[in-house]
């Protein structure tokens, strides 16, 4: 599906600019096809063939894009790894992926397989030079196979262990057909997140179909994004709520000419009413929201002509082809207006978890819906309202964080006798982690800086705690487990009791 899309785009749009790299040079649709052929030839020469796994540990950029396309052209599977992960986290993901080859930024490849290190290129001729072969030696078109796996997109389980959602020809075709049913709609957009995500890997083919130009940002920042939107006259601004909030907080925001913006697209976490109202007013554009999860592919959203309140009060209605179910503890539908487990089913959902049949079975309901792990209810207008998560997880700036994983990483920190992580609402990040620590020596307890410094080599930055509460003992339940509800009250005494009533398993 991806190889055919790239070849057709080269035929239709030829020398049109498909991507602009972080270094500022353009990649045309013809370049995209030609250079990915050269990389495919190079992969074949290194022994990569159909069904093999190639892991990419690269920053956002055309290097990742070209490798992804080339891997699909040889019939292999791309396992993307977020390059921002700490070393131990990255190694766990690579071990699970089991790659034949790793293509990585310098120093990021690990030891799981042979590594080809590549640097960010300054020119098209330098791009992936050490990995390219003769484009005329690239493998020919693959036979149609809707079940052929294309991408493994890593998420985490309830304990923070990595799991890889598998997407194949069938899913990517459906997502492209849903998002971009007509070729050549054009447009100018930007990508400011890791390429190893659901959004990039499942929507790349649809974005190429548009025939527009996508600007790659190696490192997102609010000022750089505002400058890019103004300079390139972009019609849409997207991101997680935290990114929108950071742009609005730029001291020079009102000096930018953002009159080209026709929509604001928010996903990854619910948007608060205050942020939504401010974004609409200051960007001068309507706001729409999107809701899904790594396992579901696509999910729900609001339309640009929906009432403004829809994107704040809810996460919208199912997109075409998506079936929404809100279920009780026995996988039975709950009545309209009652809270239950949010589940999604569509042709876009993952095939399963990579090399994990047990987790795959648990991820689906008996009738094939994906369990999102969220709790919510549907109103009489068909809108889904989220009320919390059934997993012990929080979302910090659009990134999932699992307390158990953070606790495990910090439990060996000097001066820590015991540690548990709770969350506190934050107007910018949505939620932040608060480390509740029992000190080994109450007279010389660890500081927040001590914990963050210790954890920096073990955890990605967004997982590190941002506040510290020292306690004499961690609150426990009668079963001698950490009392998460008591912990939540400890770090946020003002939190309403109704936000504590939904336990991690969805019961009361």
Coil, strand, or helix at residue 31?
helix
| Close Cβ partners of 125 (under 8 Å, ≥ 6 residues apart) | none
Pairing of strands 53-57, 77-80: parallel
What token pair was written down for 389?
């998560």
Average confidence (pLDDT) over 143-160: 82
Over residues 21-50, the mean pLDDT reads 96
Domains of the chain: 2-220 (3.40.50.12780), 287-389 (2.30.38.10), 394-499 (3.30.300.30)
CA triple 382-383-387, angle to 5 deg: 130
- DSSP characters over 74-139: TT-EEEE--TTS-HHHHHHHHHHH--SEEEESTT---SSS-EEE-PPPSSTTTTTTTT---GGGS-
CA distance 101 to 113: 6
| pLDDT tens for each residue of 403-453 | 878 888 898 899 998 888 999 999 999 999 999 999 989 999 999 999 999
Q: Which structure tokens are listed for 232?
A: 């390139």
pLDDT digits (tens, 9 = 90+) for 75-117: 999 999 999 888 988 999 999 999 999 999 999 998 889 999 9
pTM here? Answer: 0.84
Which residues, 6 or more positions from 181, have their beta carbon under 8 angstroms from its beta carbon?
none
Provide mean pLDDT across the span 117-137. Answer: 93
């Amino acid at each position: 599906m991806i190889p055919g899309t790239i070849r057709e785009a080269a035929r239709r749009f030829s020398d049109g600019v498909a991507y602009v790299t972080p270094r500022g040079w353009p990649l045309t649709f013809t370049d995209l096809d030609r250079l990915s052929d050269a990389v495919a030839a190079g992969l074949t020469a290194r022994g990569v063939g159909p069904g093999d796994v190639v892991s990419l540990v690269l920053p956002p950029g055309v290097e990742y894009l070209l490798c992804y396309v080339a891997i699909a052209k040889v019939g292999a599977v791309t396992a993307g790894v977020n390059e921002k992960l700490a070393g131990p986290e990255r190694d766990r993901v690579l071990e699970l992926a089991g790659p034949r080859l790793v293509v990585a930024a310098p120093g990021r490849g690990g030891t799981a397989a042979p590594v080809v290190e590549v640097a960010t290129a300054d020119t098209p001729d330098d791009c992936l030079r050490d990995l390219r072969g003769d484009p005329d030696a690239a493998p020919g078109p693959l036979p149609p196979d809707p079940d052929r796996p294309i991408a493994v997109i890593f998420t985490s389980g309830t304990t923070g262990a990595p799991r890889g959602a598998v997407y194949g020809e069938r899913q990517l075709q459906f997502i492209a057909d849903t998002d971009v049913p007509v070729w050549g709609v054009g447009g100018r957009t930007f990508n400011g997140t890791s390429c190893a995500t659901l959004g990039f890997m499942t929507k790349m083919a649809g974005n190429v179909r548009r025939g527009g130009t996508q600007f790659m940002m190696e490192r997102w920042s609010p000022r750089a994004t505002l400058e890019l939107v103004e300079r390139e006259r972009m019609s849409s601004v997207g991101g997680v709520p935290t990114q929108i909030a950071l742009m609005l907080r730029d001291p020079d925001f009102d000096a930018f000419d953002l009159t080209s913006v026709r929509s604001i697209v928010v996903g990854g976490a619910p948007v608060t009413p205050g942020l939504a109202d401010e974004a609409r007013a200051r960007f001068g554009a309507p706001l729409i929201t999107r809701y899904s999860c790594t396992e579901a592919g696509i999910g729900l959203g609001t339309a640009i002509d929906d009432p403004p309140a829809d994107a704040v009060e809810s996460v919208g209605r199912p997109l075409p082809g998506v079936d929404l179910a809100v279920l009780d503890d026995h996988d039975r539908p709950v009545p309209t207006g009652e809270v239950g487990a949010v589940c999604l089913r569509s042709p876009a959902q993952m095939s399963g978890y990579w090399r994990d049949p047990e987790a795959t079975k648990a991820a689906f309901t008996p009738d094939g819906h994906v369990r999102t792990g969220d709790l919510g209810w549907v109103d009489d207008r068909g809108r889904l309202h989220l009320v919390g998560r059934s997993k012990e997880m929080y979302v910090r700036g659009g990134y999932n964080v699992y307390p158990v994983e953070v606790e495990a990483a910090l439990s060996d920190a000097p001066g820590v006798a015991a540690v548990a992580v709770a969350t506190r609402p934050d107007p910018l990040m949505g939620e932040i982690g608060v480390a509740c620590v029992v000190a080994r020596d109450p007279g010389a307890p660890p500081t927040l800086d001590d914990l963050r410094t210790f954890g920096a080599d073990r955890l990605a930055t967004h997982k590190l705690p941002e506040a510290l509460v020292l306690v004499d003992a961690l609150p426990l339940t009668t079963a001698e487990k950490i009392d998460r509800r008591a912990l939540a009250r400890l770090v946020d005494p003002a939190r309403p009791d109704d936000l504590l009533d939904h336990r991690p398993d969805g019961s009361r």
